[in-house]
Amino acid sequence: MDEVEIEIPSYFVCPISMQLMKDPVTVATGITYDRESIEKWVFSCRNTTCPVTKQQLVTTDLTPNHTLRRLIQAWCTLNASHGVERIPTPKPAVDKAQILKLIDEARRRPESQLKCLRRIRSVAFSGEYNKKEIQSTPGAVDFLVTVIKRKEVATGEDSEFTKASDEALTILHHLGPSDSDLKRFIGDEGQFLDSLIHALKHGNYQSRAAAIMVMKSAVDVADPAQLIAATPEIFAETVQILKDNVSQQATKAALKLLMELCPWGRNRIKAAGAGAVQTLVDLLLDTTERRLCELALTVLDQLCDCAEGRAELLDHGAGLAIVSKKILRVSHAASDRAVRVLSSISKFSATSRVLQEMLQVGVVAKLCLVLQVDASSKTKERAKQTLRLHSRVWRDNSSCIPRALLSSYPS
């Protein structure tokens, strides 16, 4: 039997998604939308106007349209024989009083803390409106930080305290604390950062990912003195996140964290001592993803500004080769960073063995190629300077350079 095509009444369709509404809500302008679509429009995309009328939304309150929802459910039931599924009854949105009640119970009854945190997490992840409601609940974010900083967390990975800390950290990252809150938290004599380091060491994969991303956000608002004072432990655990490949999001956060920290004080040496260079080379060997390569090469460029970083790169059997390989294969930004790394090596670490290796693994040939192709003027100029710096050695061993590329070798 031929399938009957059911036409959905237009007033049952969300003006944003153009799909049947499951949880119709009305905004201040009187237009009704599906909750998921309008929450994404207002909260995630940060729009302040009504999508249909283009009027300014004077409030972000969303009023459930119960009458329309019942009509949609009745229509679904009427057309069930044609394969239309009945929409589930939506869960009601929470309010601040409910959140405060959960927090109060967690504080008064430690044995219920984990249960309360899991309930808060469920609410936070159930929609943008609920997420915003928790964010704006007085004391909610501070309560999460208090749980994260509890000394009892150190009693073991499987303890209730550690599980509670993992939950609180995951919620905190999802909520996205404000810059002012982060500044306040990191100004507590290092207790908050110490707690994040502990989570990086002992948390589950989800809380470790949350910890590195929260730490990256905290470093973004830290003052220079705090950046200079970054402990070797921070670098060790950040490098471990890269090694463990916790998630791509966590990997990018770890790379950005290193980018923010390395220019300050002796942080390059701390990072090199934590094995960052070797780990970055391994990462470049394993990935072709553009943004990851750009970030890894940027950090590698920073680390090669110190002797320890250059030594670590040269100690890796594939260091020079993989940096050279990424030139002209990823992006202009990646090529520029890779050429900068090779320039630093040729300027400050150019032993006869290193110069010979640069010939044998194709570094010199790749630099010659840069002069022939569409690269940025800065990248070409840096490649040219590097080739000139050791032209006597490299030209005398020109058999390692293809003839077609040798013609572009600068005089």
The pLDDT tens digits for 54-69 are 999 988 888 889 999 9
Return the closest-CA partner of residue 25 out of 38, 9, 11, 6: 38
Residue 215: pLDDT band by 50, 70, 90 thresholds? very high
Alpha-carbon Rg for the chain in angstroms: 28
Residue 2: pLDDT band by 50, 70, 90 thresholds? very low
Beta carbons of 280 and 242 less than 8 angstroms apart:
yes
Q: What DSSP designation does 63 have?
A: E
Question: What local confidence, expressed as pLDDT, does residue 194 receive?
Answer: 92
Residues 313, 278: Cα–Cα separation, whole Å:
7
**Please, which residues bridge with residue 32 across strands?**
26
**Please, which residues bridge with residue 98 across strands?**
none
Q: What DSSP designation does 87 have?
A: P
Task: For residue 286, give both structure tokens.
Answer: 């394993």
Beta carbons of 224 and 262 less than 8 angstroms apart:
no
**Please, which residues bridge with residue 216 across strands?**
none
Which range (143-157, 344-358, 361-375) has the least confidence? 143-157
Residue 31 has pLDDT above 60, yes or no: yes
Residues 346, 248: Cα–Cα separation, whole Å:
32
Cα-based distances in Å from 279 to 244, 272, 276, 337: 10, 10, 5, 17
Q: What angle do CA 283, 287, 290 make, to 5 degrees?
A: 110
Q: What angle do CA 195, 199, 202 make, to 5 degrees?
A: 130
Q: What DSSP designation does 245 have?
A: T
Task: For residue 118, give both structure tokens.
Answer: 């899991």
Residue 153: pLDDT band by 50, 70, 90 thresholds? very low
Question: What local confidence, expressed as pLDDT, does residue 45 receive?
Answer: 83
For 14-31, b/e burial (b = at least 16 CB within 10 A) is: bbeeeebbbbbbbbeeee
What mean pLDDT do residues 14-38 have? 93
Residue 152: pLDDT band by 50, 70, 90 thresholds? low
Task: Give the sign of the dihedral formed by CA 140, CA 89, CA 64, CA 125.
Answer: positive
> What count of residues does the chain have?
411
Residues 354, 310: Cα–Cα separation, whole Å:
11
Residue 137: pLDDT band by 50, 70, 90 thresholds? very high
Residue 129: pLDDT band by 50, 70, 90 thresholds? confident
SS3 20: strand
SS3 60: coil
Question: What local confidence, expressed as pLDDT, does residue 237 receive?
Answer: 97
What mean pLDDT do residues 22-41 have? 92
Task: For residue 240, give both structure tokens.
Answer: 């471990």
Question: What local confidence, expressed as pLDDT, does residue 1 receive?
Answer: 38
What mean pLDDT do residues 107-127 have? 91
Domain at 10-82: CATH code: 3.30.40.10
375 phi, psi to nearest 5 deg: -120, 165
Which range (83-87, 105-109, 195-199, 305-309) has the least confidence? 83-87
Which range (121-130, 160-169, 272-281, 390-399) has the least confidence? 390-399
Residue-wise pLDDT for 252-304, tens only, equals 999 999 999 999 999 999 999 999 999 999 999 999 999 999 999 999 999 99
Residue 158: pLDDT band by 50, 70, 90 thresholds? low
56 phi, psi to nearest 5 deg: -65, 135
Question: What local confidence, expressed as pLDDT, does residue 379 receive?
Answer: 93
Residue 4 has pLDDT above 70, yes or no: no
High-pLDDT (> 70) share of the chain, %? 97
Q: Where are the beta strands (DSSP E) in 196-322?
A: none
Question: What local confidence, expressed as pLDDT, does residue 374 receive?
Answer: 81
Q: 5-9, 40-44, 247-251: which has the highest mean pLDDT?
A: 247-251
